[in-house]
Amino acid sequence: MTRTGSSPGVLSIKPFRRLWIALSLSSFGDWLSILALTALAGSLTKGSAENYAIGGVLVVKLLPALVFGPLAGAVADRFDRRTTMVIADILRFSLFLSIPLVGRLDWLYIATFLIEVVTLFWIPAKEATVPNLVPKDQLEKANQISLISTYGSAPVAAATFSVLALISGVVFANQRQQANLALYINAVTFLVSAATIFSLREIPRQRGKVSVPSILKQIVAGWRFVGSTPLVRGLTVGIVGAFAAGGAVIGIAKVYVKALGGGDAAYGVVFGMVFVGMAIGMFLAPRILKDFSRRRLFGLAIIGAGLALVLIAIIQNLVIVALLTALLGAGAGIAWVIGYTLIGLEVEDSLRGRTWAFLQSLVRVALLLTVAAVPFIAGAVGQHRLKYGKNGVYHFDGPNAVLLLGAVVAVIVGLLAYKQMDDRKGIPLSRDLMAALRGEEYTPEQPGSGERGVFLAFEGGEGAGKTTQARLLAIWLRDQGFDVVTTREPGSSKMGMRLRAILLDKETTGLSSRAETLLYAADRAQHVAEVIRPALQRGAIVVTDRYVDSSLAYQGGGRELKVKEIAEVNRWATGGLTPDLTIILDVPSEVGLGRFASPADRIESEPREFHERVRRGFRALAEAEPHRYLVIDGTQPQQEISRQIHDRVRAILPDPVPATAEAVTSTMPVISD
Ligand SMILES: Nc1ncnc2c1ncn2[C@@H]1O[C@H](COP(=O)(O)OP(=O)(O)OP(=O)(O)O)[C@@H](O)[C@H]1O
Ligand SMILES: Cc1cn([C@H]2C[C@H](O)[C@@H](COP(=O)(O)O)O2)c(=O)[nH]c1=O
């Protein structure tokens, strides 16, 4: 995985840097043009026609992609890319300049349509050029920085538009002149871009024959693939639905902001907030919810965006709407980055291209239909005044209805995507989410294990008396008719015995603390699978001499690794199996170590401070969850320790099986429910 932080390295490649400057300028110009054109269209019309005029701008911006999309890709491969880009930029400069000079709505539409057609040829020429300017191993970084510039320029454009609106509001009398100023600046960005690309002699000349796939064929092929793959089905439903909801917002935002008392500056701020939110969502969510299922997060992000939209539709306060818009953007940004990554990671390489082509076609259709439908829905709903209290009047107009409809669509598609893509079925969402927020992965007890027995663990430092007490407890339990399995760690399986030899042999030198932790965890995973879980499933009482807490105290306390991380590894290794009771025998380290006559093994040979840290580690675990532990002073006489253990264990034992059961099974009786 490449880190974004290393992107400046790519920018040191001079030709790529120039192309990137051109891309940034063009992206900035594109975003600024959406704001300026919709504002100008609004100012060229009056009353309810304003809705249709703004919607019209967006429709003509989307239409060319449907008609000329496949052709543009082919042109990029067939003609000289540098020339294509320079001509496209000069054309865009001229067309943008013409809009304020002509100053008519019909020309605004024609010019916008032509600009979009030209842009369609510019983009694939640029996309195809990048791999020729950077080495292969830098391509991913180059793509990252291009993506950041494309979307990062949106809030910059929005801020510029707001500032321009404020400044020009002082100088100019009407809104038309303000929008015109933005369009002039916009035109200049394309001229600079053309000059920058013209100077790029490194772009190789390109000639060749390329077939033009029909958009209809792509959609049909895509449908077939989507129908047979739940992941892509969920992604498609989510992405297309989110774009449809987004289309509703884009189509109505200008009118809604105006209805809330805002002008062009406020529109620019609200528009920019979507992208600020997107950037925050994209950046923060994957970090905060590092261990959370990406498939679940995808659906949840769309639902979250839908809920933010509900509030935007009903809370009619400009400042709150602007803040909620950032929330909406965050949801959209999270869904976008996850959708993008999931397609990259989980869709086979041979199908990825088709998936993208299909999604892009569908997204454009969805956007187009929504943007086109928005003015009609808003117009059909009309204006409604709802009275409340003595003098209160709540306005519910077309824009509110459109936003609410978009919100409902987002929530429904979010739910559908969640259902289709859920990769943790049966795991409660709230627990999964809470664990992820704590930085842990929620591991439930293995499904269907159906343990009926009792699981007891002895823990403590060296020579604390664990083996002695485990043996005495087993005798006491068997005397009462229980099926008891005594076991220990490490080394209760064939593989575990070999691991024990490696771990405790003083000849083992240079073993890293992490490797040591993993070897103990591997022994434990085998121990649980081979010995503990089968015994518990048949209803036995399992008494183990050491378990997970030994790793937390020895590798966490003794070796000073992070206890949380060790717990996480072990949760995974054991499938979350936790003892019903853990008995800690607490003795000062010199007392425990002094009880042995035999030579010390690799761990016992550690210095005293190590063993004292281990002791403190065990105590801390018991203090954190007292209900799961029984801490006993291990320096007491053996019988006294046994008595205290019996008192506590008795309370959690099930009723022994009636004596008759022994006759039936003719084996050691098992515990009944
Ligand atoms: N309460 C006690 N008082 C004094 N000596 C004891 C007590 N309990 C056990 N011992 C003795 O201490 C020694 C170590 O006991 P034991 O093997 O049970 O400890 P352990 O905790 O299992 O040690 P290990 O660190 O090897 O797991 C044995 O010789 C045992 O007889
Ligand atoms: C399970 C486990 C054990 N250890 C250490 C603790 C002891 O020094 C030895 C095991 O020897 P014993 O005589 O069987 O008690 O291994 C550890 O460091 N981490 C663990 O998870």
Render the burial of 101-119: b for 16+ CB within 10 Å, e for the rest: eeeebeebbbbbbbbbbbb
User: Is 50 exceeded by the pLDDT of residue 2?
Assistant: no
Distance 545 CA to ligand 2 centre (A): 9
- What amino acid occupies position 290? K
Does ligand 1 have an atom closer than 6 angstroms to the CB of 460? yes
Does ligand 1 have an atom closer than 6 angstroms to the CB of 638? yes
For residue 545, which of 644, 639, 459, 454 has the smallest C-alpha distance? 459
Residue 668 pLDDT class (50, 70, 90 cuts) = very low
Highest mean pLDDT: which range of 217-221, 229-233, 434-438: 434-438
Cβ-contact 149, 27 below 8 angstroms? yes
Does ligand 2 have an atom closer than 6 angstroms to the CB of 333? no
Q: How many C-beta atoms surround the C-beta of residue 261 within 10 A?
A: 10
User: Is 90 exceeded by the pLDDT of residue 311?
Assistant: yes
Distance 505 CA to ligand 1 centre (A): 21
Does ligand 2 have an atom closer than 6 angstroms to the CB of 589? no
Distance 436 CA to ligand 2 centre (A): 30
User: Is 90 exceeded by the pLDDT of residue 535?
Assistant: yes
User: Is 90 exceeded by the pLDDT of residue 305?
Assistant: yes
Residue 147 in tokens: 């993506």
User: Is 90 exceeded by the pLDDT of residue 270?
Assistant: no
Give the chain's domains with CATH numbers.
10-212 (1.20.1250.20), 213-442 (1.20.1250.20), 454-665 (3.40.50.300)
State the Cα–Cα distance between residues 663 and 79, nearest whole angstrom. Answer: 91
- Proximal ligand: closest to the CA of 470: 1
Does ligand 1 have an atom closer than 6 angstroms to the CB of 491? no
State residue 161's pLDDT score: 83
User: Is 60 exceeded by the pLDDT of residue 538?
Assistant: yes
Beta strands 392-397 and 383-388 are antiparallel
Give per-residue pLDDT as tens, 41-80.
Answer: 877 877 667 777 777 887 788 777 766 765 665 565 667 7
ipTM: 0.99
State residue 669's pLDDT score: 36
State the Cα–Cα distance between residues 476 and 469, nearest whole angstrom. Answer: 10
Peptide bond into 100 cis (omega under 30): no
Phi-psi region of 581 (alpha: psi -120 to 50; beta: other; left: phi over 0): beta
State residue 131's pLDDT score: 66
Does ligand 2 have an atom closer than 6 angstroms to the CB of 126? no
Distance 534 CA to ligand 2 centre (A): 23
User: Is 70 exceeded by the pLDDT of residue 431?
Assistant: yes
Residue 163 in tokens: 């500032």
> Terminus-to-terminus CA distance in the chain, angstroms?
51
Does ligand 2 have an atom closer than 6 angstroms to the CB of 487? no
Give per-residue pLDDT as tens, 129-168.
Answer: 776 777 766 665 666 677 677 777 877 888 888 887 777 6
Does ligand 2 have an atom closer than 6 angstroms to the CB of 460? no
Residues ≥6 apart with Cβ < 8 Å to 630: 581, 582, 583, 584, 644, 645, 648
State the Cα–Cα distance between residues 175 and 169, nearest whole angstrom. Answer: 8
User: Is 70 exceeded by the pLDDT of residue 94?
Assistant: yes
State residue 358's pLDDT score: 64
User: Is 50 exceeded by the pLDDT of residue 10?
Assistant: yes
User: Is 70 exceeded by the pLDDT of residue 551?
Assistant: yes
Nearest CA residue ID for atom 19, ligand 2: 551
Q: Among 280-289, 364-373, 492-501, 617-626, where is mean pLDDT lowest? A: 364-373
User: Is 80 exceeded by the pLDDT of residue 468?
Assistant: yes
Residue identified by tokens 């030198």 is 509
Distance 459 CA to ligand 1 centre (A): 12
Give per-residue pLDDT as tens, 399-421.
Answer: 999 899 989 999 999 999 998 88
Nearest CA residue ID for atom 30, ligand 1: 465
User: Is 90 exceeded by the pLDDT of residue 454?
Assistant: yes
pTM of the predicted protein model = 0.51
What ligand 2 atom has the least distance to the C-alpha of 521?
21
Nearest CA residue ID for atom 25, ligand 1: 462
- What amino acid occupies position 64? P
State the Cα–Cα distance between residues 113 and 91, nearest whole angstrom. Answer: 12
- Percent helix / strand / coil, the chain, rounded to 5: 70, 5, 20
Does ligand 2 have an atom closer than 6 angstroms to the CB of 603? yes
Give per-residue pLDDT as tens, 604-658.
Answer: 999 999 999 999 999 999 999 999 999 999 999 999 999 999 999 998 887 654 4
Q: Mean pLDDT across the chain, nearest whole number?
A: 83
What ligand 1 atom has the least distance to the C-alpha of 462?
25
Distance 482 CA to ligand 2 centre (A): 28
For residue 464, which of 593, 316, 345, 621 has the smallest C-alpha distance? 593
Distance 480 CA to ligand 1 centre (A): 25
Residue 562 pLDDT class (50, 70, 90 cuts) = very high
What ligand 1 atom has the least distance to the C-alpha of 641?
1
Cβ-contact 343, 352 below 8 angstroms? yes
